[in-house]
C-alpha cells in the first residue's frame, strides 16, 4: 500500500469530499489563493473549486465561525480552518453556545448542522504559551459537539470524510508535530467511523489509552518496554466525543492496569474522564491505581529545553507503565 504524509491525507480527504458534495465550502484566514492557510493545508484548493467555495476570511474567528453556523443551518456543509487550537477560544461562544445548541433551542429546526472546524494543536515547535495548547477536553465536555483527534494519516483521512458527512458540528484536532508523518493510506474510497476506538497494539500487562500524537509516542514506549518483557496494549480513542467506552473497558478488563497519556494538562483532562469510565465500569478488574501521564502544569514555554521538559516523552510513559506495574 502507498504511504502519504499526514497533511496530504487531510488534503486528499477534503478534496475528494468536495468533489462528491458541492455543498461543502472551505474558508479561514489565508485559506484561498496560493497560501492555503498558515499550514498550507488548503493550498491549491481554490484553484480546483473556485472562489465561491474556497475563500479567505478576515482575522476574526468569532465572525467566520458564526458565518459557518448560518451556512450550515441553510443547507451548506462548511469547513472552517482555525489555524491554532488556542484561537478557538476567540470563537468559543459561537462554538459552545450556538453551534452545539442551536437545534436544541429551536425545536429541531434546522434538523442538521453539518459543520467541521479543523484546527492544529500541540507543542514541540517552540511556539510558546498561546500557540501550543491542546484543548480537546474543553470541547469534549460540551453536548452537541463531536471531537476527534486522529493520530496517523489513515485515520485522519477516513475520519475527516466521516466528519464531512456527519450532520453534527465536528471539531477535528490535528497535532502539528505529525504533519510530516508518513503512513499507509488506501487509494480507494474508505471512511473511519466516528465514536469508535482502535487497539493499535495488543498487550497483556497494562493498557495505555493515549490521545492524538501521544498514541505514536506511546507505541515507541511500548516497543521499549517489550525489550524488558513487558507487554503493553495501546488504545487510540480517536473520537473523544462520543467516546468508545466499550473498547477501553474491554482492554482494561484484560490487562487490569490503566495508564492514560495526553499532551494536555492533567487536571480535568481526558485522562481523568477515561479513568472515571474505567472506575465506573470495571473497578473490580483493576489490579493497581490509574496512572496519568500529561504535560507538566505550566503554560508552554518558548525555551526548547523547558518545552521538552513540559511535554511527555517516551521516558515518562515508560516510567508511568513501570509505576502501574509496581503498584
Ramachandran assignment for 128, one of left (phi > 0), alpha (psi -120 to 50 degrees), beta (any other): left
Three-state DSSP at 24 gives strand
Whether cis (ω within 30° of 0) applies to the bond prior to 158 is no
* Residues that are catalytic: 61, 131
Is 237:209 a contact under the CB 8 Å cutoff? yes
Give the neighbor-by-neighbor strand order of the sheet with 291-295: 198-201, 232-236, 206-210, 258-265, 291-295
Whether cis (ω within 30° of 0) applies to the bond prior to 49 is no
Residue carrying the nine cell digits 488556542 = 86
3-state secondary structure 34-100: CCCCCCCCCCCHHHHHCCCCEEECCCCHHHHHHHHHHHHHCCCEEEEEEEEHHHHHHHHHHHHHHHC
Strand partners, 201: 234
> In 3D, which of 156, 193, 164, 190 has the Cα closest to residue 24?
164
The span from the CA of 125 to the CA of 302, in Å, is 9
The span from the CA of 221 to the CA of 114, in Å, is 38
In this structure, what are the phi and psi dihedrals at residue 15, rounded to the nearest 5 degrees? -65, -45
Q: Is 74 exposed, middle or buried (0-12, 13-18, 19+ CB in 10 A)?
A: exposed
The span from the CA of 51 to the CA of 48, in Å, is 9
Amino acid at each position: 500500500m502507498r504511504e502519504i504524509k499526514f497533511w496530504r491525507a487531510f488534503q486528499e480527504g477534503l478534496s475528494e469530499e468536495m468533489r462528491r458534495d458541492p455543498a461543502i465550502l472551505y474558508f479561514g484566514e489565508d485559506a484561498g489563493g496560493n497560501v492555503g492557510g498558515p499550514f498550507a493545508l488548503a493550498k491549491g484548493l481554490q484553484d480546483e473549486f473556485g472562489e465561491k467555495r474556497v475563500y479567505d476570511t478576515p482575522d476574526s474567528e468569532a465572525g467566520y465561525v458564526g458565518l459557518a453556523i448560518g451556512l450550515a443551518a441553510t443547507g451548506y456543509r462548511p469547513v472552517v480552518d482555525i489555524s491554532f487550537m488556542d484561537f478557538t477560544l476567540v470563537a468559543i461562544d459561537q462554538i459552545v453556545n450556538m453551534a452545539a445548541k442551536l437545534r436544541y433551542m429551536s425545536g429541531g429546526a434546522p434538523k442538521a448542522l453539518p459543520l467541521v472546524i479543523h484546527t492544529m494543536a500541540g507543542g514541540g515547535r517552540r511556539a510558546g504559551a498561546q500557540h501550543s495548547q491542546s484543548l480537546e477536553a474543553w470541547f469534549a465536555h460540551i453536548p452537541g459537539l463531536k471531537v476527534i483527534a486522529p493520530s496517523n494519516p489513515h485515520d485522519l483521512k477516513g475520519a475527516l470524510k466521516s466528519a464531512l458527512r456527519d450532520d453534527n458540528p465536528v471539531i477535528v484536532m490535528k497535532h502539528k508535530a505529525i504533519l510530516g508523518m508518513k503512513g499507509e493510506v488506501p487509494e480507494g474510497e474508505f471512511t473511519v467511523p466516528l465514536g469508535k476506538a482502535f487497539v493499535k497494539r495488543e498487550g497483556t500487562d497494562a493498557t495505555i489509552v493515549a490521545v492524538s500524537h501521544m498514541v505514536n509516542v506511546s507505541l515507541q514506549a511500548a516497543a521499549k518496554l517489550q525489550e524488558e518483557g513487558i507487554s503493553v496494549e495501546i488504545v487510540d480513542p480517536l473520537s473523544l466525543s462520543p467516546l468508545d467506552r466499550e473498547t477501553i473497558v474491554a482492554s482494561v478488563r484484560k490487562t487490569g492496569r490503566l495508564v492514560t497519556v495526553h499532551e494536555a494538562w492533567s487536571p480535568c483532562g481526558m485522562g481523568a474522564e477515561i479513568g472515571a469510565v474505567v472506575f465506573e465500569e470495571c473497578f473490580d478488574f483493576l489490579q493497581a491505581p490509574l496512572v496519568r501521564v500529561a504535560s507538566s502544569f505550566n503554560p508552554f514555554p518558548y525555551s526548547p529545553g523547558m518545552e521538552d521538559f513540559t511535554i511527555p516523552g517516551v521516558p515518562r510513559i515508560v516510567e508511568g507503565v513501570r509505576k502501574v506495574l509496581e503498584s
